[in-house]
Amino acid sequence: YKTNIEDLEPLGELGSGTCGHVVKMLHKPTQCVMAVKQMRWSGDLEENKRITMDLDVVLKSHDCNYIVNCYGVFINDADVWICMELMATCFDKLLKRLSSPIPEDILGKVALATVKALHYLKERHDVIHRDIKPSNILLDSHGNVKLCDFGVSGRLVNSKAKSGNPGCAAYMSPERIQPPNGSPDYDIRADVWSLGITLVELATGQFPYTDCNSDFAVLSRVLQDDPPSLPIDSNFTPEFHYFINSCLTKDYHQRPKYKRLLQYPFLTRYETKYVDVASWYAEATALSAR
């Protein structure tokens, strides 16, 4: 469907982050409401070539149910607009709204969807996400969990002034913070670490490296401390503990890749177990609205 930018009517901002902002918009000809991510091109030609290639990946990922559907993109000299399906919320907003941690059953579905999306990106498009965090894992009103912002996020210049957003650096793996041989050649397992941090945050209700008042303080602790884990005296199952501990293996050579993770009992459980995510979401947000 060929469309013009004039066909879009802004309905309000959904949020903004390190590399642009996301606006809810009505596509007037079809009456379809969508989420439009607005970003600015960087000044560098080579960089921009890569952005274009990444956009290509976004548009080719229709066949994965765990990735937010992209309808199309608008590109001009200054900006890139990515039009995507409108989701109900992201897990960052959800956690803030609920003021209580997310249950294990929900996180099982989150972990399974995220690992499948990342596995798909790697196998089909040879893409590393690089920005796994609660705000890039979205939920729709039917209870589907989907990943967004892959590949693009790391390559666009921030249209907002960004002086070290702790949100992004905070989920970074030890080998990205400090490359073992001085050269940055990390692999997909950097995203596995970020998923581990994300799940600990969602399961406990708080970011695991507390009391850090700068990016540098967080990064130092990621390197120095033992990896975070779920509290021992919690009601989480041993399989969940084990999954988290494996994702948060500091030495990335020992950290599992997606093929192996998909066979972990925590993920095989949610491959078959029915969880009514949609009802949980409806009830949890209704409670928090009271």
- Please give the positions annotated as active site: 131
Is residue 131 within 8 Å of 78, Cβ to Cβ?
no
32, burial (CB in 10 Å: exposed 0-12, middle 13-18, buried 19+) = middle
Q: Determine if 149 is a binding residue for Mg ion (CB under 5 A).
A: yes
Q: Which of 54, 104, 149, 201 binds ligand ADP (CB under 6 A)?
A: 149
- The string of DSSP codes covering 114-141 is HHHHHHHHHHHH-------SGGGEEE-T
Q: Determine if 114 is a binding residue for Mg ion (CB under 5 A).
A: no
Q: Interface residues for ligand ADP in 65-124 (CB under 6 A)?
A: 68, 84-87, 90, 92-93
Is residue 39 within 8 Å of 80, Cβ to Cβ?
yes
User: Measuring CA to CA, which residue among 90, 146, 155 is closest to residue 118?
Assistant: 146
Query: Closest approach of Cβ 87 to ligand ADP, in Å?
Result: 4
Helix or strand run (H / E) with residue 25: strand 20-27
Binding range to Mg ion, per CB under 5 A, among 145-153, 194-202, 206-214, 225-233: 145-153
Query: Closest approach of Cβ 34 to ligand ADP, in Å?
Result: 8
Q: Which of 3, 15, 166, 262 binds ligand ADP (CB under 6 A)?
A: 15
Q: Determine if 175 is a binding residue for Mg ion (CB under 5 A).
A: no
Q: In 49-164, at which residue ranges do the beta strands (DSSP E only) sit? A: 70-75, 79-85, 89-90, 137-139, 145-147
- CA–CA separation, 115 and 256 (whole Å): 11
Is residue 136 within 8 Å of 90, Cβ to Cβ?
yes
Q: Determine if 191 is a binding residue for Mg ion (CB under 5 A).
A: no
Query: Closest approach of Cβ 146 to Mg ion, in Å?
Result: 12
Site string for ligand ADP, 159-188 (x = CB under 6 A): --------x---------------------
Sorted by sequence, the CB contacts under 8 Å of residue 184 that are 6+ apart come out as 176
Residue 208's binding partner among ligand ADP, Mg ion, none (Cβ under 5 to 8 angstroms by kind) is none
Q: Determine if 136 is a binding residue for Mg ion (CB under 5 A).
A: yes
Give the count of residues interacting with Mg ion (CB under 5 A). Answer: 3
Q: What are phi and psi of 163, to 5 degrees?
A: -110, 80
Q: Determine if 22 is a binding residue for ligand ADP (CB under 6 A).
A: yes
Q: Determine if 201 is a binding residue for ligand ADP (CB under 6 A).
A: no
Is 113 or 230 the residue whose CB approaches ligand ADP more closely? 113
Binding range to Mg ion, per CB under 5 A, among 133-141, 201-209, 238-246, 279-287: 133-141
- Residue 89: strand pairing partners: 139
- End-to-end, the C-alpha distance of the chain in Å comes to 42
Sorted by sequence, the CB contacts under 8 Å of residue 30 that are 6+ apart come out as 1
Q: Which of 114, 135, 144, 194 binds ligand ADP (CB under 6 A)?
A: 135
Is 16 or 285 the residue whose CB approaches ligand ADP more closely? 16
Give the count of residues interacting with ligand ADP (CB under 6 A). Answer: 23
**Contact positions vs ligand ADP (CB under 6 A):** 14-18, 20-22, 35, 68, 84-87, 90, 92-93, 135-136, 138, 148-149, 167
